[in-house]
Structures are given as structure tokens and as C-alpha cells.
Homo-oligomer: A and B are copies of this chain.
Amino acid sequence: MMEPKIISGNATAKEIKAEIAATVQKRKEAGLKVPHLAAVLVGNDGGSEAYVSYKVKDCAEVGFESTLVRKESNISESELLQVVQDLNDNPEIDGFIVQLPLPDHIDESKVLLAIDPTKDVDGFHPSNVGRMALGLETFKPATPLGIVELLKRNDINVSGKHCVIIGRSNIVGSPLSILLSQNADGANATVTLCHSRTKNLEEITNQADVLIAAIGKPGYVTESMVKEGAVVVDVGTTRVPDASKKSGFGLKGDVLFDEVSPKCSAITPVPGGVGPMTRVALLLNTLRAVS
């Protein structure tokens, strides 16, 4: 039993936002373009509305310009592709995202492929995913980028350590496994990627110096799955009803925090851990887009 360090994504994100704001200020003083992020929101999904409003708010906070492009949920695929094309062609817009999920009648993959890779600040376009996998400079997907930054800035050196990731999604687990195993600053870890087909999961997670849970199942990671002294990163942010909250819901992580945290040397909370780092990673990518 120990008193774990609580890794505050809020505090680290605040620090990075201050740095970005200072860079934007210097750009303004030098007469350089202010970064401009656009977000495309289709329909009225509650989660998507919230995510996009955070993005607009974050831009304001660091001095970026932002544009919200709202479309009705009955927009046709070809109309949406035209929206993407217009943003590709608009020199004012440095980077943009299309908020997922999209309505069922629209092929998400087609839309993501239509985004100009040089403006793809979500880092979802195959050519950016490939550049990342090859270790070339590019936009990295926000959550993996945010986690790497969070560990680096909290002096958690993963080099030579065994990082075990639970969850192989294209937006978190899989790209994070690639990034952490590369020969790069903040990386060089030995990485094991686990998922729904993994047998002996508990045996493997118990070897993790750094355990990263990215499965979206609240409370999935229990005390018996974690090695004494491990660092635990909780990527889960499942919305659960919570009458005590103004919004009517709260966020639950993939880790059973109360029973797991006493075994950890350090752990990220939910909320206030990976979430704010994902948000700030989008700002880092947008700054990269204009640089």
C-alpha cells in the first residue's frame, strides 16, 4: 500500500495551454497567422455537441481562431464531402476535424479520406497514420499524443519499461502501442497490446510497469490485475447517469480507482486525467498545422 501520485491531466494541460498561448502571442507580435481550427458537427448528438463546444472553448483560451460548421443530420454524403473540400481549399483554415460519429447513411471512412492530410489535425487519415508508424513527422492522434505528453511531463520515463495496453482501437490502443515502442523521446518502451481475444490477461497486466486501460468498460481493471508500484493510465470515459451532476451524468474510467490506486506509484484520475490531455493534443496539432 502506498500513497499514489495522482497524475493531473488538468494541471499538465493547463501548463501546455499556457505555452501554446505564449507561442500564439509571439506569432501575433511577429505578424504571423493565428492558428485557425474548424470543427464540423453533423446532427445533435449530446456527446458530440459537448466535445465540439470544448474544442471551440479551448481555441479561445489559447488565442486560436475557430469556426464551427454545423450541418443537419440529414445532410447527404456528397454535401458533406463538399464541406470537407471547401475547408481543404480555404487558406484561412489551418486544420479541421469532422466530429464522429456521423449519421449511418454517411460513410465515415470516405469522409476522413477526403480530408487534406496537411489539415488533418485528428491524425486519422491513412497517410498520417502511416507517417506516424514510420516515425516521420506528422499529426498524431490526440489521445495517444496526449498520453505520451502526460507521461513525459510527469517524469514517468517509459524507456525499457513494460507498457501493457488493454484495447486495440484505431484511435487509442493501436496507435499508442506504435508510439510507445518507437525509438523516440518519451518512448522506447517494451509494449504488449491486449484485447478481447487475449487469454491470461491478468497474468500479462500484472507484469506491467505502466498499464494503460482503453476499453471503455467502467471499472474493468481491478486490484488483482495491477502490479504493486505500477503506473496506471485510465483512458476510459464512459458516460453514466449521475443525478448529483448538473448535466445529469458523470464520467467513469476503465479502472476501479478506489481499489487500484493504493497499489500504484502513480495513476490518472477520471475525470481530469487523459481527457484534458486529449483536448490539448488537438491544440498542439493545430499549432503544428500552421507552423
- Is A130 within 8 A of B125, CB to CB? yes
- Is A177 within 8 A of B170, CB to CB? no
- Is B198 within 8 A of A190, CB to CB? yes
What residues on B are CB-neighbors of A125 within 8 Å? 130
- Is A134 within 8 A of B190, CB to CB? no
What residues on B are CB-neighbors of A134 within 8 Å? 126, 129, 170
Cβ of A177 to closest chain B Cβ, rounded Å: 7
Do A190 and B192 contact each other (CB < 8 Å), given the known contacts A127-B126, A174-B181? Answer: yes
State A168–B168 Cα separation when bound (angstroms).
18
- Is A159 within 8 A of B197, CB to CB? yes
- The answer to whether A131 has its CB under 8 Å from any CB of chain B is yes
A sample of 5 cross-chain residue pairs with beta-carbon separation below 8 angstroms, ordered by A number, consists of A133-B178, A160-B199, A162-B204, A177-B177, A190-B204
What residues on B are CB-neighbors of A197 within 8 Å? 159-160, 183, 188-190
- The answer to whether A128 has its CB under 8 Å from any CB of chain B is yes
Tell me the nearest residue of chain B to A123, going by C-beta. Answer: B130
Please give 14 more A-B residue pairs, beta carbons under 8 A apart, in addition to A129-B134, A134-B170: A126-B127, A126-B128, A126-B133, A126-B136, A128-B130, A129-B130, A133-B178, A160-B197, A160-B198, A178-B178, A188-B197, A190-B192, A190-B193, A191-B193
Question: Which A residues between 120 and 145 are near B, CB-CB below 8 angstroms?
Answer: 125-136
Tell me the nearest residue of chain B to A109, going by C-beta. Answer: B136
Tell me the nearest residue of chain B to A182, going by C-beta. Answer: B168
Do A191 and B192 contact each other (CB < 8 Å), given the known contacts A160-B198, A178-B174, A183-B168? Answer: yes
